[in-house]
Structure formats: C-alpha cells, structure tokens
Amino acid sequence: MSTVRVLVGTHKGAFILTSDGKRKHWNVAGPHFGGFDIYHLKGSPVDPNRIYASQTSGWFGQLIQRSNDGGETWEPVENKFTYDGVPGTHQWYDGTAHPWEFKRVWHLEPSLTDPDTVYAGAEDAALFRSNDGAKSWQEISGLRKHGSGPRWQPGAGGMCLHTVILDPSDPNRIFIAISAAGAFRTDDGGETWLPINQGLHSQYIPDPKADVGHCVHHIAMHPSRPGVLFMQKHWDVMRSDNAGDTWQEVSGNLPSDFGFVIDVHAHEPETIYVVPIKSDSEHFPPDGKLRVYRSRTGGNEWEPLTKGLPQQDCFVNVLRDAMAVDSLDDCGVYFGTTGGQVYASADAGDSWEPIVRDLPAVLSVEVQTIP
C-alpha cells in the first residue's frame, strides 16, 4: 500500500506526518530543527527520501538541511547564497532605492529528473540553483538582471521569490513568482526571463496594468497541462491558457478574491482549490468560517467545502505555500494554518479532518505519495 508523507514547515520547526494510503491514522514526527522558522521543505520526485529544508532565523541566518532517509536524519549543507555581480537596488516600501540583500530562502524546488539538482527562491528576490545536492549554490542571475529589478518592491512579508514551477514537458522552461514584482518565465533554462503579467490588474500600484509590480501570491500548474497556470494574486484569482502570456480573472463567486494558496487536483486539471481570506490587513477567513473553495471548471464557478472545517470563530490564515495534494486515486488535499492545524481531505475536498491541531504556525505544506 502507498505511503503518504506530509512535510510541514512551521514557525518553530519541521514536522513529518505519515500515513498509509487510507489516510485515516497519522504518525506525527518532529519537531526537527525546533525553534527555527522552517519556511519550506520538499522532497525530490526522483528520490523521495532526498528532502531539502530551508531553516532560517533572525539569530543565525539561513541554513539548508538535507535528508537522504525521508526526513529521519538531516545534515546541514551549504548556506552561502551570493548574488552574481553587483546586486544593485530595488524599491523600498517608501519608493526609495534599497540595496539588494540576501535574507532567507522561501522555497526549495527539487529537479524533476535529478535528485542533486535543486532550485532555491530567495528574499531579496533571486533564484539560485545547486547541481551538487546543495553543497554549493549559484545564482541564475538572468532573472534579476533582466532590467525591471530596480522597480521591484517588497510585499509585507519581504521581497521574496516564493514560487518555482518546473515545466515537465520542457526542461528549459521555468515559471517563478515574486511578491511584489509578479510572475516571470524563462524558455532558455534561465538565461533570459520575460515578465508574464499581462492581464493582471492591481489598483495598489501607480499603473494598475504595469508589466511588473504585481503582488502575486502563488501559482499552480497541473503537470499534464503545463501551459495552463492558475494564480492567486493579492486580490483576484487568475488563469492563463498560454503559459502566462495573458491572464484572465476567474474569481467568479468567491466570497473574497484575496488569499494565498492555490492548487490543482492531481487527476482533474480543471479542478482547483483556494482558501478565501479577508483583506486588506485582516487576513483571516470571511465571517470566521474556514472554507476551501473548489472549482471544477477551472475557475469562475466555485463551491464552498466546509465539512469538517470550523464554521465559526475561526481567524487563522493559510499561507502561500501551505496547500498541497497527493496523487492517490482519490486525490488527497492538505493545508496548514497559522493556528497550527493541518487539515487533510481524502476525498478531493468533500470532507476534512485535522491530522494535527496544535503545531506552531504553519508556513508550508508539501506532500509525497510513495508507492
């Protein structure tokens, strides 16, 4: 029987939740790296026992940890991230020029084909790659040098590169997203990058239709249709049917088009999930009801999924990397909250149960389905 392994990064450590394919009984292991912010951990699709973790703190800076046994033991690997050349400046919150400074790694994306190759999305925004199992890192500097960098600015959480999507049909195509610069794509393995923000409308920037400056919160793609992208933006749920060249809003009947997470069903590429959040500044579910919304039509028409989720007095948030799906026949959907709950659905969202209720604030959730 398959094993499902849920990798949870929290404000105070990493936790690994495991179950068999029934997904009824869970073992909770951790904390690993107790006391540290674990922004993200993710396993290699080629070798599921190879897991990379981003461990960071205000005291000791950035650390990268690597496991070769499914998260039972870990070893620190290279934590030196050096920008290529003179980093230059981006916009600060007040619009003044601010020097680029490395702060932390938000997202680790292992290669689809090589367990020793992994990408790191950093704050201040940059994309790094390691080809030696995270023993060394090199910046893919074509992104930061593409020309619009001086106009990028931080979101409330910092100027983070938080989303990295590798195209399974084209090893030279990578999508990334930055708060608050927008989405970018390379078609040549990272040498050159194109902003892919046409169709986004953000009334909080001087030109709401500018080529960069949009606060993209997360992007999701189904591997069978790499040209179709779904985006949760700081207000507006969007979709693109041409690999990001243009976007259309598909917020439809959502109670709030603000949110952080977005994900796609493992077997139904038109079935997508979001968690609407009230904003600006409040950042909790509308009406104190924690509801996942599912669209089976690729957007516009949404249904609330509430069975098993708190429907009163709930004021948690669900952060951008804190939703994932498994690939079992009955697709499992998982998300974590800033209140420390990790909820799981073994029936594509129809019903939910908490795997664990009282972890530190959850920063990220990833799922491995192991045959």
Partner 1 sequence: MTRSTVRVELPAHLRALAQVGGEVALEIEGAVTIRTVLNALEASYPMLRGTIRDHDTKARRPFLRFFACQEDLSHDSPDAPLPDAVATGAEPLIVLGAIAGG
Distance (Å, whole) CA 234 – CA 197: 13
Find the shortest distance in angstroms from Cβ 178 to partner 1: 24
Q: Residue 35 interacts with partner 1 (CB under 8 A)?
A: yes
CB nearer to partner 1: pick between 58 and 95: 58
How many residues of this chain interact with partner 1, rule: CB under 8 A?
A: 13
Q: Residue 295 interacts with partner 1 (CB under 8 A)?
A: no
Q: Which two tokens stand for residue 161?
A: 């590169």
Q: Which two tokens stand for residue 371?
A: 């045959």
Distance (Å, whole) CA 282 – CA 240: 29
Find the shortest distance in angstroms from Cβ 59 to partner 1: 4
Judged by CB under 8 A, which stretch of 51-59, 84-92, 280-288, 346-354 contacts partner 1?
Answer: 51-59
What contacts 293, CB < 8 A, 6 or more positions away?
254, 255, 273, 274, 275, 276, 302, 303, 304, 305
The rounded Cα 219 to chain-centroid distance in angstroms is 7
Contact positions with partner 1 (CB under 8 A) in 194-253: none
CB nearer to partner 1: pick between 132 and 191: 132
Among 36, 100, 128, 273, binds partner 1 (CB under 8 A): 36
Among 2, 3, 49, 57, binds partner 1 (CB under 8 A): 57
Find the shortest distance in angstroms from Cβ 36 to partner 1: 7
Q: Residue 68 interacts with partner 1 (CB under 8 A)?
A: no
What contacts 149, CB < 8 A, 6 or more positions away?
88, 90, 100
Distance (Å, whole) CA 355 – CA 342: 6
Burial class of 279 by CB neighbour count within 10 A (0 to 12, 13 to 18, 19+): middle
CB nearer to partner 1: pick between 98 and 225: 98
Q: Residue 99 interacts with partner 1 (CB under 8 A)?
A: no
Give contact residues for partner 1 (rule: CB under 8 A): 35-36, 57-63, 76, 79-80, 82
